[in-house]
Amino acid sequence: MLASLRPIANGIVADVTSETNRGKVYGGMGIAMNVGTMAGTLIGTNMARQTIFGIQGWRAAFVLIGTASVLVGFVAWVLMQEPPKRGGGEAPAPKGRGCGAVRAEFWELASYFRMPSFCVLILQGCFGSVAWNALSYKTLFFQLGGVTDAQVALIDVFSQISGSLGNLLGGVVGDRLSRCSKNHGRPITAQISVLAGIPVAWFVFMTQPPDGGAFAYYLVLMIVLGLTATWCGVGVNLPILSQIVRDDRRATIMAWQGSLESSCSAIFGNAAVGFLAQNVFGYDLSNANASVAENSENSKALGT
């Protein structure tokens, strides 16, 4: 149920903001989500192995997060005013029930694939999300490269913080360029973000850090990557998607987009990393728990 909140919130933002300001608002939402993720990770990790009032800590963490979610939903229901419906307040045509509703939803989705812009958004989102899913292995890569666990944790924290700021920066840049060129501003934003991220990723995974300076080297690069490579979702994809779909279908189509991208990233991201590391670059599972010096080949298999 909580997963449905993001497309609904994205649809509401599209309803109540202008085309030239949506990127900044979506960027602010991205910051809020990342802050919540960091807070949840910090609280949940510290509570997991403790006993709180006779309850296992990880269970108490679930109860705490669930209760907070219910309270936030109640506050939103009481205080938030739903934006007025456009188009004279006409209700959408009924789609039937059961198989009829599923069939109608499928054909509705298929109709959007006739739009070249929608197809390009979905296709690039699938490829882009695969790369971000593969980046979840960066922790293991840093550890194999000689960075201590505490330093890896700091790199992850600063990477999330810079990614949050990058969301806002990407939204602002997308809005500014969209005002300069309505048809080309947001695509240019995506090109800048991707082109800026490629050399940074190269230096992270394909070059050796200086002796004794691996922590600072990776920290700076991951901060730069977070600030530059996170623009596409909030500064490009969501604002464009808000423009090309019907008002009453925004939340549904955004949910479809998110599910398609997440499915592709989960299926192909982990599989691609595992296949390439083991079968192409020679990652040795039997040597996975060896010392850093003995794991140099595994480090090369994952990146350098």
Alpha helix segments (H runs only) across 80-115: 99-112
**CB atoms < 10 A from the CB of 192, how many?**
18
DSSP state, residue 247: G
Q: What is the pLDDT of residue 295?
A: 54
Domains of the chain: 2-47+106-302 (1.20.1250)
Cα separation, 204 vs 208, in Å, equals 8
Cα separation, 241 vs 238, in Å, equals 5
Q: What is the pLDDT of residue 217?
A: 92
Percent of the chain with pLDDT over 90: 14
Q: What is the pLDDT of residue 53?
A: 84
- Helix (H), strand (E) at residue 21: none
Q: What is the pLDDT of residue 38?
A: 79
Q: Which residues of the chain have pLDDT under 70?
A: 1-4, 83-98, 281-304
Tokens of 150: 């505490």
- Closest residue by Cα to residue 127 from 267, 291, 289: 267
Cα separation, 31 vs 162, in Å, equals 10
User: In sequence order, what E strands does 171-292 have?
Assistant: none
pTM (2 d.p.): 0.73
Q: Distances from the Cα of 229 to the Cαs of 21, 120, 159, 194, in angstroms?
A: 20, 19, 11, 6
Q: What is the pLDDT of residue 299?
A: 55
Could you report the per-residue pLDDT of 244-291, keeping only the tens digit for each? Answer: 887 777 777 887 787 777 777 777 777 777 777 777 766 665 555 544
126: which residues sit within 8 A by CB, 6+ positions away? 260, 261, 264, 265
Q: Is 19 exposed, middle or buried (0-12, 13-18, 19+ CB in 10 A)?
A: middle
